[in-house]
Amino acid sequence: MDIATLGGQLLGQIPLGDIVLYLTPFNLFMFVGALIFTTLIAISRTETQVEAEFGSLNDNEVKVGLKEFKIRRFLAVVCGLATAGAMITGDVFNFTLLVALIGILNIGIVSAVKQIDVLNAAFQYGLIAMIASLPLFGGAAIILASTGTLSILEIAQLSFTTPMMFFASLLLILGIAGETGIAPFYATKAEMFRTPGSPFIIIIHLSSLLVIVRAIEILLIINKPF
């Protein structure tokens, strides 16, 4: 499928050696959106969860310590930048790499909490993310083997699709689903959101959302179903 049909008018290209970024309104919108959200996270403070105490009228505040706050803000900003990079990249290989980076950072954001059940969920999510790196990188490798290139611009100009390319994109979407923890693997990730420190937790949601939208664009370009 044509790039212009999916993402609107092709505004330009940024050639960096053999890595070529391409700009469409679709890409740019998500790129700028991810950057704006990252800036908001970088300047915001964390929430304080308030729990009612049992048997008394007092409240119990769950706060995030300064050191933990700093580490978590750093990881959340890097996660936002990785998401923005995955939006703008014109290369399947860079896309898989940034998705894997987002997976690691998602584990890192919740890894410093004190709640045991959240750590348990983070461990399960980490196992899934590690297992998902096989279909993720394997899919990218098979796309390379069946098309001879990893650049999305080059792949868009190919006139044929082979069953191997379809198989590779199946593996790729499986890997992305596991790495970002969407629907079939969501159970591993849901518990992670119970940790205090809200704006940094939301980047986990937002990154997986944007990455899925971009992944669908890439898979449509590779498979050309219409």
Partner 1 sequence: MIVPEVVPAITVSLFLPALYVGLLVGFIALLGISFQKKDLHALILTDIVGVGMLIIVAAVGTDLAEALILPGLVVQLAEIMAISEILMSREMRKTGKKVSFMPMPLKMNMEILKTAPNFLSLVLIVYGIFLTGFTGGAVAGVGILFYALSRKSRGLPFKLWEGVSGISGVAWCIWLAGFLILFVTPEIWLLGLLMSSFGILLKVASKMGLIGVLGREEIKRD
- Chain centroid to Cα 195, Å, comes to 20
30 vs 204 by CB, closer to partner 1: 204
What the block records as the tokens of 92 is 């399947």
SS3 for 63?
coil
Question: Is residue 177 within 8 Å of 188, Cβ to Cβ?
Answer: no
Stretch that binds partner 1, among 43-51, 58-66, 95-103, 200-208 (CB under 8 A): 95-103
Residue 108 found at the interface with partner 1 (CB under 8 A) = yes
Residue 118 makes CB contacts below 8 A (sequence gap 6+) with: 110, 191, 192, 194, 195
* Residue ranges in 118-177 that form contacts with partner 1 under rule CB under 8 A: 119-120, 122-123, 126-127, 129-131, 133-134, 136-138, 140-142, 144-148, 150
122 vs 220 by CB, closer to partner 1: 122
Give the Cα separation of 188 and 170 in Å (integer): 21
Length of the chain counted residue by residue: 226
Which amino acid, 199? P
Shortest CB 9 distance to partner 1, Å: 28
Residues that bind partner 1 in the complex, under the rule CB under 8 A:
16-17, 93, 97, 100-101, 103-104, 107-108, 111, 114, 116, 119-120, 122-123, 126-127, 129-131, 133-134, 136-138, 140-142, 144-148, 150
